[in-house]
Amino acid sequence: MVNLVATPARGRGPRQPILGDARAGKLASNLSAFGRALRRAGVPVDASRISMAQQALQMVGVERKLDVGGALEAVLVSREQDRAVFREMFDVFFRDPEIANKLLAQMLPRAEGMAEPPRQRPRVREALAPHRAGSQAPLAPPDKELDFDAAMTASDLQRLKHADFNAVTASEYRLIERLVREVRLPMPEVPSRRVRAGSRGARLHWARTMGEAARTSGEVMALRHLQRRRQPLPLLLLVDVSGSMERYARLMLAFLHAATRQAHGVKVRRDVFAFGTRLTDLTAAFRLTDTDAMLEAASTAIHDYAGGTRLGQSLSALRHHHARRLVGRRTLVLMVTDGLDTGEPEELATELQWLKRHSRRILWLNPLLRFDGYAPLARGAAQLHRASDGMLAVHNLASLQELAAAVSKLLGNR
């Protein structure tokens, strides 16, 4: 992390703007440090991208900061949701040499006085935050190679993959929150009512057939057909934010936001609600591209976080005020809850039957399946078990990675 525009030295003429000190040969190490900081913020950056970044800077030059930023963004960012994080990280990383020197020591146990830019995104703030570990290692000399990569060992990642979200430490929880954004949930596709030109289909595409015949003196050389377009199933996401789901709700919101954004390049229709003692519409928050911005908007909208659970009343509010969100009988409902409802089971049974009649499938994503021999014996859980078409575990990274195959299997059985 260095200043792009160097200040003139005393008694000398103005120096040319350079990326780092070319005489010391620190361009490669500075780019590597920047790449590691991006990786800590959740942006996928590997050694090949760092190598391409060096080549890009050699081609565009380092005289202008805008050119440097544009070149690095072109080769280091591959997802739209990471662009805002990259730009903010770039501005912080290449802003002030004093701040840069302190940010270089971000992985060391003592980095006192690090200036924090105002209104940083959580991913950028966590990536640049010093770790307050118990060791007392001294700061390294300026020219010494510093290894401040936050990547964990393979054994640590394997352990976290199977660790229960409710049993990890705060630092591990933050790491898992970044990892769940990389898990994808490709949704099954169904034929839509819209049609397009194709090589096969039940209906002939007369306009295209006759248009091609006009170019061959009226000879019909081939029959063109109309085939139905395919589109991903519309989703209704219901996430329990009660006290018993406190450790799972934020992770599941982050996972569902990133995993269900699109399928096969097509944007998925998503209607999202959080429920506890009341129903909260999070659909507008889920339209935000950045997951951190979504979580911030959701936190502002939810007023009953870590409270009780009244699923029956929440479904009743859904039926009375948001029934049009269900697209015929095509909507796939993903309900994230442990089923520990405190309302009346009769009301819950009535609302679940209504929801079942107006949806394609109801899949219950239950973190309590982490326990061997779990049975839905609670009153609310028993009603959910009767109404749902399948119950899947969502208590660790491994279960989320297996969720896509499980959803496809359940939908294909019908």
346 vs 392: CA distance, rounded Å = 24
Domain boundaries, the chain: 1-131, 182-186+233-412, 192-231
As a whole number, the mean pLDDT across the chain is 79
What pLDDT score does 152 carry? 54
Quick check: 181 pLDDT over 80?
yes
Strands 262-263 and 235-240: unpaired
pLDDT digits (tens, 9 = 90+) for 112-139: 444 444 456 666 666 666 544 333 333 3
100 vs 93: CA distance, rounded Å = 6
- Give 23-43 as a 3 state SS string: CCCCHHHHHHHHHHHHHHCCC
Quick check: 19 pLDDT over 50?
no
What pLDDT score does 213 carry? 85
CATH class of 182-186+233-412: alpha beta
Asked if 185 and 404 touch (Cβ cutoff 8 Å), the reply is yes
User: Checking phi first, is residue 242 left (phi over 0); if not, alpha (psi -120 to 50) or beta?
Assistant: beta
381 vs 342: CA distance, rounded Å = 10
Q: Which amino acid is at 70?
A: G
153 vs 163: CA distance, rounded Å = 15
Q: Which amino acid is at 329?
A: R
Work out the average pLDDT over 357-373: 92
**Taking the model in full, what pTM does it have?**
0.65
Q: Which tokens in the block code for residue 249? A: 């709700």
